[in-house]
Structure 1
Amino acid sequence: MTEPGAGGAHPDGIASAGSAAPEGAAEGANKADLDRALTVAMSHFAADGYSATKLDAIAKEVGMSKRMLHYHFGDKKELYRRCLIRAAWGFSPPQDFLERSYAAPVEGIRRFVDALYHSMAQNPEAIRLLLRENLDPVLTPGEVTSMRSESEVILQLERLLLMGQDVGAFRPGISATDVVVLIASLCFFRTSNHTTLEEFGAINLLSPTNTEGMRRLTIDAVLTFLTSNIPDSGYESYLTHTTATPHAIHSDDDGYTKDYLSGTSIAEPLIDDIYDDDLEPSGE
């Protein structure tokens, strides 16, 4: 998968090999050193947050001068942004996997979910960093949007879904984004809530046994989601991309208007939607 980058720059923001080092800088930095710098920086940002992370500590752990760190990655905020890019793109399965084709769409999806689960399970610090940015944002919306790029993960998944829907193996109305959100929700929960679940439910989600159990749960959840006999809703997807007007107002078939972003209480119409009129007691 090709990560987003510009010009001769490394997609992670590493200066190209032809760049001149700062005048008087005795040490050089090869790609392995710079990759390690990003790995260490991500670990610090994920564990301590943006404000508490110190460039001096990162430079010392990497074995690189703070001056060289600034040269290759810019200021602290730019280094943080590069770490977020690496975190977001670190979940991609290997390129050769993305280029495979499958005769049976169900098997293709099974292997795809398996690969994506392993990619996320093996990158817990990337998940922690993304969670931090969601809960305590450092970047502006414009800076986050500039990181967005077309993902081969989504494209490959769309191909598998279309193939399965064409042969009747998968139900319509499900997009690649829906499936990725389902997978990520389970994988992010495993990282973000494992302490709470162990303390209150005595379940260690990070144990080898439960890591395997979560893998099976994620695969089966996606396959059930795709193959269940739920009637076609007429929608093309459960989720839609953000439009110019982010106000989410939806009118359902019963005439209820649900405003999900205004802060208006929507509890009553949502509860009413749960119960079918046929279940109401007779005589009322």
Structure 2
Amino acid sequence: MDKIGNCATQKRKTSWKKDPEAVKENILTIATEEFARYGLSGGNINEIASKTSTSKRMIYYYFGDKEGLYTHVLERVYSSLREAEQQLDVTDLEPVAALRRLTEATFDSHVGNPQFVRLVMIENIHNAEYVRKSGIIPKLNKSIIDKLASVCERGKAIGVFRNDAEPLELHWMTSSASFYYVSNRATFSTSFGNNLFTDDGQKRIRSRVADMVLGAVVIGYQPDSGVIP
């Protein structure tokens, strides 16, 4: 190995010792891009290693194997998606406003995490095999259901929500519309134009998704005037 190669190797070894957490984060960032683009089967460990500040050997050291790395990537993107929802405190809002805030937060999380959407599409091809193996992802997903359940209970207690308001159904409605907005953007905009994906279009769809969810459970709900918030 030449002098340049020796310097590069030494630099990598130093980084492993000084900040292993930063090294793992670097690996996961590059691996997320690789798996989101090519999937589990198409993702290449050698390609990931070449773009990181470490080596293939250290990737296996930290994550076990390719499937282990993929599982950690999934857990990371789910954590990223749920973070905004988890940090959002709606306990001081009345139930209708609280449900709108939670719905909009979920929509924003999907729009802001297109890699999450692509990885979930890939994971559905695998029949959720790696989500099922994870001990972390189900707990992450439970937090938003718990928040919605609390809002539903408060709404029913004061008579503004229908008695059949179910948090899981509301989350499904929100997630399905939000997911579709990201996952099908390329084909939808090619077929119908880009109007829904401009800044104003995105704000309108965000508001429409919230109206859809609120309309399903709020007694006598009337959408806003249509002014973009």
> What is the CA-CA distance between 1:32 and the residue it aligns to?
3.1
TM-score normalised per structure 2:
0.80
Q: Name the counterpart of 1:52.
A: 42
Structure 2 unaligned segments of length 5 or more: list them: 1-12, 222-229
Alpha-carbon distance in 1 for matches of 2:139, 2:190: 39
> What is the CA-CA distance between 1:162 and the residue it aligns to?
0.6
Q: Name the counterpart of 1:77.
A: 67
Alpha-carbon distance in 1 for matches of 2:171, 2:43: 31
> What is the CA-CA distance between 1:226 and the residue it aligns to?
1.5
The yes-or-no answer on 1:177 pairing with 2:168 is: yes
Call closer, same or farther: CA 1:183–1:43 in 2, change over 3 Å.
Answer: same
Percent identity for Structure 1 against Structure 2: 26
Alpha-carbon distance in 2 for matches of 1:67, 1:159: 47
Q: Deviations over 1:224-255 (max 9, x none)?
A: 1112569xxxxxxxxxxxxxxxxxxxxxxxxx
Call closer, same or farther: CA 1:177–1:59 in 2, change over 3 Å.
Answer: same
> What is the CA-CA distance between 1:205 and the residue it aligns to?
4.3
Alpha-carbon distance in 1 for matches of 2:94, 2:85: 20
SS in 1 for 2:42: coil
After TM superposition, where is structure 1 displaced by more than 6 Å over at least 4 residues in a row?
Answer: none
Structure 1 unaligned segments of length 5 or more: list them: 1-24, 231-284
Q: Deviations over 1:64-97 (max 9, x none)?
A: 1111111111100011111112223322125442
SS in 2 for 1:63: coil
Q: Name the counterpart of 2:189.
A: 198
> What is the CA-CA distance between 1:207 and the residue it aligns to?
2.8
TM-score normalised per structure 1:
0.65
Call closer, same or farther: CA 1:138–1:165 in 2, change over 3 Å.
Answer: closer
Report matched runs for 1:1-284 at 5 Å: 26-28=14-16, 29-92=19-82, 93=84, 95-98=86-89, 100-137=90-127, 139=129, 143=133, 147-149=137-139, 151-203=142-194, 205-228=196-219
Q: Which amino acid aligns with 1:149?
A: K
Alpha-carbon distance in 2 for matches of 1:156, 1:94: 9
Larger radius of gyration: 1
The RMSD of aligned alpha carbons is 2.5
SS in 2 for 1:51: helix
> What is the CA-CA distance between 1:118 and the residue it aligns to?
1.2
Alpha-carbon distance in 2 for matches of 1:210, 1:194: 12
How many positions carry a matched residue from both structures?
206
Q: Name the counterpart of 2:227.
A: none
Call closer, same or farther: CA 1:208–1:152 in 2, change over 3 Å.
Answer: same
Identify the range of structure 1 (46-55 vs 35-44) with the bigger mean alpha-carbon deviation.
35-44
Q: Which amino acid aligns with 1:89?
A: S
> What is the CA-CA distance between 1:112 and the residue it aligns to?
1.4
Call closer, same or farther: CA 1:185–1:34 in 2, change over 3 Å.
Answer: same
